[in-house]
Structure 1
Amino acid sequence: MAATVVELEKLRLLFKQAGTLLTGNAFAGALGLAAFLATARHLGAESFGALALITTYAVVIDKLLNFQSWQALIKFGASIATDTANAPNLSRLVSFCLMADVASAAVAGVVGLFLAQSVGQFLGWSDAVLAGAGWFCLVVVCNVTGAATGLLRIAGRYRLLAVHLVLANAFRLIGVVVGVTLDVGIAWFLWVYGISMALGYAVIVFGGLSVARKWKLEFVTGSRSEIRQYLSFLFWTNASSALAVPVKHFDVIVVGAVLNEAAAGQFKVIRQVGQLLGQISSPLYQAVYPFLSRDAGEGNSSGSIRLAWRSGLWVALIALPLALLVSVAGIWWVPSVLGESYNALVVPLIVFAVLSALSLGAGTIHPLFLALGFARETAVILIFTTPLYLWLLWSLVGALGLMGVVIAFGVEFFLVVAIKLLLIQRWRRRGAGLG
């Protein structure tokens, strides 16, 4: 009974923290959606498709080369952060993550700038896309938020994590309204989107610094054994992030290459609905990972598994009705809000929304898998499933258009989830970790 009470209290605290993020994300999402729809309508499908390709290119470069050190910080820091005696250990961990953030952000920005022309020419981008893709990668240099994000999540500062999105999207919406009013072109909107992203990064960094000062953390280097341990985990988690990039971001680029920029703009709208649904799950994933890592670090892997299962079930129950409501209503709101040039996306939108809702419920397997220590296994799974996805994506887009992207997404996601569930079941039967 005691264990049940503890687990229920943990679930209550988890949903309280996730609720804080959800409230902020909902408000930020509304602002972002308004800016998104206004931009799409003002620019039209073709110019908006160019904007989508430029921003997607920068995001891809960021995900491929910019380390996500918050995963390592939470994995190794969640179980020691509450003990003041471990402040030196936490200082060394945070210092390592901060150095990784700065170095990788600089490398990502430079590489993105120099690769833009060759990548764009290979994919047949228009002059507008080629002109904007390179300099927009300067935004990537500003993304040094990994260590700060990890500290804020461990400290439970979820209100600030929500506020940064509200501020960024409020600035974006104001900039978009000004651009629409002045009837300006794509260049203005690139500046607005880039500055709003950099503003959000700055809020996160300053928040992380406030936590570091409160906990009296110092900038110190770790021992060789610590660095090897952190670096190994960081390598595998970032390898996984890089391997997941095609699944999360190549769809827009492939649609633009196989079909046209107008189709890329249409699919960007479909993706935006998936991101809207993600506003439900993302707060939970952010809040649950420290809990899962703390339980796993204390040897309570069964508690981690139960928490992941229960939280995922709640996400699915909330996301599925919302997905149907938003997507089916697209029969009316797509032509009236966006215009007739977007009508072809309605049916793929409905199917994608339903698949996204189901995937969000199953998605708690991903932070659980990482918390249990399966960083290397995550990368190995993606080594095999990502090429399959890319083959399906390219083949099905050519054959089925936008619906082909939707089918490829569903096959890849649920295949990865099935493999991870099988590995966890095998691990539990053996009674020993694989990761």
Structure 2
Amino acid sequence: MKRIIDLVKNNRLINNFVVLLTGEGIVSILSMLSFSIIIASIGNEGNGMIISIQTYCILLNGIFGFKSFQALIKYIVYEIENNNKEKIKEYIFQSYALDLAAVGLATVFSFVFLNFYGDLMNWNQTMRNLTIIYIVASAFQIQGTPIGILRVYNKFNLITYNNTIVAGARFLLYVVGFFAKYNIYYYFGVEVILVLVQNIMLNILCFTTLKQYDLNDFYKCKLKFDKEFFKFNIYTNIASTIDIPVGTLTSTIINGYLGYADLSVYKAFEKIGALLGKLSSPLSQIIYPELNNYIVKGDIKKAKKMSDRLFYGINAIGIVMIIGTLLTYKWWLGFLIDGYQAFIIPLIVYLIYTSVTNAAVGVHNLFLALNYVKYIVPIVICVNIVYLGVIYVLIIKWKLMGVIISLFLQAIAVILIKIAIMKRNDYKELV
């Protein structure tokens, strides 16, 4: 036992994985409990209304927001290797500038498109007023740079603490709401407060880390826009924007075609599938900096081996999870979904989809680390054009099952195309 404890403490990868997995596991359990409480309190319809508001804000943030942590990690790793502190500060300043510009754009356009979206979703004035409040709270959602800093400087424990505290606060506040028999406005207020708290805390933790490495005066540098850094950011963020149909826009499509109740069922599927995601999410956070380290040192074989092991390992765990769900769903699924008997087969198909997508975390991170960003935009455009056509046909024919099958086909297509491109280039880094 002592040897295992020593191994965890002394191996950075294992230590980070255990910290993140423990945190993600706690967050997942608290999230499931919170979901059960809100369904018991305000039902699928009320919960679906809150989700609908959040979906709109996430959609606009997804379109205009920058995922700057990917570029930040990739370029800072090189400068850490070269001990170039001034260049690191320049990248941090540029990254924060992009984050602030993006959140400003997202906020402005969230207000601009609110009435159009509200008319599309048949929202009443109350729903629109609540959305305005959530838009203001979302203006504090500056996450890209803080996440990049905390990951590259091995502060995964701080990310875990922040997420766990927020999940715990949500659970406790939901319990209060349940026993006090509060209505939908209370639960909405809880979500608004927690959005603010989580994002403010994330930035405080980031500045604490920067101070530790004598980088907290980055804003004193002259703001320079590094062409390659900016280009990498643009490629990854255009791809993320185009890729919205697979994430946020899927919820919008379900809401528009099937209604709040089915949207709530889909979100319950996401909560269940997130149990496997809680395994791959820590791995994704850990391996991207590690893959970049291997590539900086020219050790491509080790990078590929890490990606392959993740694919087979996570799929094996996914199979165990699917079998466990089939054996036990009668005991717990009813707490998450009203009339759950009608959704068992769609749930199993969703879990298969989740297993495959989570297992591909190594493929996606290796693709980025090898600097194949220029291929991402055409891949996502082509695959998602097909996805939108397929989901339109299948959602009408098979309803929620049609959505899940469409997602599955999209995910498989992206994975296979990326693997084919890397093989064609013999897994060499593009420069």
| Deviations 1:191-217, CA, capped at 9 Å, x for gaps | 111222222222221111112111111
Which segments of structure 1 move beyond 4 Å, counting only runs of 4 or more? 220-224, 431-435
**Structure 2 contact 300–428 (Cα < 8 Å) conserved:** no
Structure 2 letter corresponding to 1:396: L
Note the C-alpha offset of 1:272: 1.6
| Deviations 1:156-215, CA, capped at 9 Å, x for gaps | 111111111101111111221122122222221111112222222222211111121111
Aligned residue among 112, 119, 128 for 2:117: 119
**Structure 2 contact 45–264 (Cα < 8 Å) conserved:** yes
Q: Please give the alpha-carbon distance, in whole angstroms, between the structure 1 residues aligned to 2:326 and 2:364.
A: 26
**Structure 1 contact 277–323 (Cα < 8 Å) conserved:** no
Q: Residues 173-212 of structure 1: matches in 2 within 5 Å?
A: 173-212=171-210
After superposition, the Cα gap between the structure-2 partners of 1:339 and 1:397, relative to the gap in structure 1 and judged at 3 Å, is closer
- DSSP-derived class of the 2:79 partner: coil
Note the C-alpha offset of 1:365: 0.8
**Structure 1 contact 240–379 (Cα < 8 Å) conserved:** yes
Q: Residues 256-271 of structure 1: matches in 2 within 5 Å?
A: 256-271=255-270
Note the C-alpha offset of 1:82: 5.3
After superposition, the Cα gap between the structure-2 partners of 1:135 and 1:33, relative to the gap in structure 1 and judged at 3 Å, is same
- DSSP-derived class of the 1:364 partner: helix
Q: Residues 36-435 of structure 1: matches in 2 within 5 Å?
A: 36-81=35-80, 85-125=83-123, 129-217=127-215, 218-221=218-221, 227-326=226-325, 329-335=328-334, 337-338=335-336, 340-428=338-426, 433-434=429-430
Q: Please give the alpha-carbon distance, in whole angstroms, between the structure 2 residues aligned to 1:264 and 1:127.
A: 21
Structure 1 letter corresponding to 2:259: N
- DSSP-derived class of the 2:113 partner: helix
**TM-score scaled by length of structure 2:** 0.92
Note the C-alpha offset of 1:433: 4.5
Note the C-alpha offset of 1:222: 6.0
**Structure 1 contact 117–134 (Cα < 8 Å) conserved:** no
Structure 2 letter corresponding to 1:238: N
Note the C-alpha offset of 1:302: 2.5
Note the C-alpha offset of 1:264: 1.3
Partner of 2:15: 16
Q: Please give the alpha-carbon distance, in whole angstroms, between the structure 1 residues aligned to 2:428 and 2:47.
A: 51
Partner of 2:3: none
Q: Please give the alpha-carbon distance, in whole angstroms, between the structure 2 residues aligned to 1:20 and 1:341.
A: 37
- DSSP-derived class of the 2:247 partner: helix
Structure 2 letter corresponding to 1:424: M
Greater Cα offset, 414-423 or 146-155: 146-155
After superposition, the Cα gap between the structure-2 partners of 1:231 and 1:252, relative to the gap in structure 1 and judged at 3 Å, is same
Gap runs ≥5 in structure 2 = 1-6
| Deviations 1:30-59, CA, capped at 9 Å, x for gaps | 112211121122211212211121112222
Partner of 1:3: none
Q: Please give the alpha-carbon distance, in whole angstroms, between the structure 2 residues aligned to 1:326 and 1:37.
A: 17
**Structure 2 contact 166–198 (Cα < 8 Å) conserved:** yes
Partner of 1:26: 25
Note the C-alpha offset of 1:230: 1.4
- DSSP-derived class of the 1:100 partner: helix
Q: Please give the alpha-carbon distance, in whole angstroms, between the structure 1 residues aligned to 2:111 and 2:359.
A: 37
**Structure 1 contact 327–349 (Cα < 8 Å) conserved:** no
RMSD: 2.2
**Structure 1 contact 92–220 (Cα < 8 Å) conserved:** no
**Structure 2 contact 379–414 (Cα < 8 Å) conserved:** yes
**Structure 2 contact 265–337 (Cα < 8 Å) conserved:** no
After superposition, the Cα gap between the structure-2 partners of 1:422 and 1:59, relative to the gap in structure 1 and judged at 3 Å, is same
| Deviations 1:110-138, CA, capped at 9 Å, x for gaps | 21133122112123345554343332122
Q: Please give the alpha-carbon distance, in whole angstroms, between the structure 1 residues aligned to 2:404 and 2:31.
A: 23
Gap runs ≥5 in structure 1 = 1-7
**Structure 2 contact 93–223 (Cα < 8 Å) conserved:** no
Structure 1 letter corresponding to 2:241: A
Structure 1 letter corresponding to 2:47: F
Q: Please give the alpha-carbon distance, in whole angstroms, between the structure 2 residues aligned to 1:155 and 1:310.
A: 25
**Structure 2 contact 138–195 (Cα < 8 Å) conserved:** no
Note the C-alpha offset of 1:297: 2.5
Q: Please give the alpha-carbon distance, in whole angstroms, between the structure 1 residues aligned to 2:260 and 2:125.
A: 12
**Structure 1 contact 328–350 (Cα < 8 Å) conserved:** no
Q: Please give the alpha-carbon distance, in whole angstroms, between the structure 2 residues aligned to 1:331 and 1:398.
A: 29
- Counting matched residue pairs gives 422
**Structure 1 contact 236–376 (Cα < 8 Å) conserved:** yes
**Structure 1 contact 109–139 (Cα < 8 Å) conserved:** no
Partner of 1:4: none
